[in-house]
């Protein structure tokens, strides 16, 4: 378990604060997303977790062990158990796939026999057995990331840190890498922490997330709750300011998990029961780990606002009025 309490980090050079009062818990087996705008402090927080950068206040423990108290040798030992992958894969171009994967075991002086056995297992896990003798320059981006994942798993880490690991990949390849990460998470129970700016990565792969804004946690919780409640921080991140809505009436956004809708077609039923026809301005279904979420925007006139919002509350549907990003009515918090 990774426990972070009141964490504070200041850059030494200019004494600027980059992380302030960070509190979060990442349970064993979580796939946890750290999201936020560029410069919010995501990579810095990730680097605090594996001791690549220090922190000045608060506490960061991994399985009860305070990272900033670790001496050099202990820190090296700790890092063996934390794998890391990056956006640009960081492979050695002159070495083959096999040699790249074997690298950490060679550094730690494992026997050739043990190394070969492990590399073979990992090649199978990441689906690259047929590319074992290829050089990175002859691999696609997705294949390179598979090699990097295999290399990160050689020392049987308990934690895998992913820093924008799918940002350089096309959507289809991103999906295949996410499927691999989910498979690894389920097969070996590894905890995965993902820094990303890709919301589809958060929705498809992660069970929990934290939104960082200027070095502070703006929102934190299960991915399902964050996306269904659509907090201000998420909308700022999604750039909702740019959506143009009708100036008349009330634009109500409704979010629900598809599995939660038991009574068939939601809006037809609502319109019939309320005897009120309203326009649906926008609607999309987004894929989540084990479900899909419907997000719709309807426009309601003044006279029917109370009736509609009461209906939504009674049916425990998450809704909010899309006014501006700071002042809004909200329901469905239950």
Ligand X SMILES: Nc1ncnc2c1ncn2[C@@H]1O[C@H](COP(=O)(O)OP(=O)(O)OP(=O)(O)O)[C@@H](O)[C@H]1O
Please give the residue ranges that form the binding site for ligand X (CB under 6 A).
11, 13, 18, 36, 38-44, 197
Q: Which is nearer to ligand X, 48 or 178 (CB)?
A: 48
We find the least distance from the C-beta atom of residue 196 to ligand X, in angstroms, to be 9
Q: Which is nearer to ligand X, 47 or 250 (CB)?
A: 47
Q: What is the DSSP letter of 167?
A: T
Q: Within the chain, where are the H helices?
A: 42-49, 72-80, 97-107, 112-126, 141-152, 171-188, 199-205, 223-229, 232-238, 266-274, 305-314
We find the least distance from the C-beta atom of residue 300 to ligand X, in angstroms, to be 38
Q: Which is nearer to ligand X, 33 or 255 (CB)?
A: 33
Measure the CA–CA gap between 324 and 233, rounded to whole angstroms. 13
Q: Which of 235, 233, 272, 274 is nearest to 253 (CA)?
A: 235
5, 254, 305 from 299: Cα distances, Å: 43, 11, 9
Report the SS3 class of residue 320: strand
Q: Are 29 and 205 in contact (CB under 8 A)?
A: no
Q: What is the DSSP letter of 130?
A: G
Q: Which is nearer to ligand X, 160 or 317 (CB)?
A: 160
We find the least distance from the C-beta atom of residue 150 to ligand X, in angstroms, to be 25
We find the least distance from the C-beta atom of residue 198 to ligand X, in angstroms, to be 11
Q: Which is nearer to ligand X, 192 or 297 (CB)?
A: 192
We find the least distance from the C-beta atom of residue 183 to ligand X, in angstroms, to be 27
């Amino acid at each position: 378990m990774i426990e972070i309490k009141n964490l504070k980090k200041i850059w030494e050079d200019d004494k600027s604060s980059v992380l302030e009062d960070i509190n979060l818990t990442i349970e064993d087996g979580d796939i946890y997303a750290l999201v936020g705008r560029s410069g919010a402090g995501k990579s810095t927080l990730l680097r605090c977790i594996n001791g690549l950068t220090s922190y000045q206040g608060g506490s960061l423990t991994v399985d009860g062990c305070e990272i900033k108290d670790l001496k050099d040798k202990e820190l090296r030992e700790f890092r063996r158990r934390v794998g890391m992958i990056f956006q640009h894969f960081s492979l050695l171009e002159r070495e083959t796939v096999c040699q790249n994967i074997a690298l950490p075991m060679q550094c730690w002086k494992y026997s050739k026999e043990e190394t070969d056995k492990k590399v073979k297992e990992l090649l199978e896990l990441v689906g690259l057995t047929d590319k074992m003798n290829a050089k990175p320059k002859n691999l696609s981006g997705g294949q390179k990331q598979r090699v990097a994942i295999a290399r990160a798993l050689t020392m049987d880490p308990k934690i895998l840190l992913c820093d924008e690991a799918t940002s350089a990949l096309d959507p289809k390849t991103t999906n295949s890498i996410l499927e691999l990460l989910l498979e690894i998470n389920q097969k070996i129970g590894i905890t995965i922490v993902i820094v990303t700016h890709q919301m589809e990565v958060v929705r498809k792969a992660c069970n929990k997330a934290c939104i960082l804004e200027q070095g502070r946690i703006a929102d934190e919780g299960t991915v399902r709750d964050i996306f269904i409640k659509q907090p201000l921080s998420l909308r700022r991140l999604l750039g909702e300011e740019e959506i143009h809505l009708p100036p008349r009436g009330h634009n109500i956004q409704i979010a629900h998990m598809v599995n939660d809708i038991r009574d068939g077609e939601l809006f037809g039923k609502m319109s019939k029961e309320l005897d009120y026809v309203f326009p649906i301005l926008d609607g999309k279904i987004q894929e989540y780990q084990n479900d899909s979420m419907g997000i719709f925007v309807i426009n309601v006139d003044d006279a029917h606002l109370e009736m509609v919002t009461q209906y939504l509350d009674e049916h425990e549907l998450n809704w909010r009025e899309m006014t501006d990003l700071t002042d809004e009515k909200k329901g469905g918090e239950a």
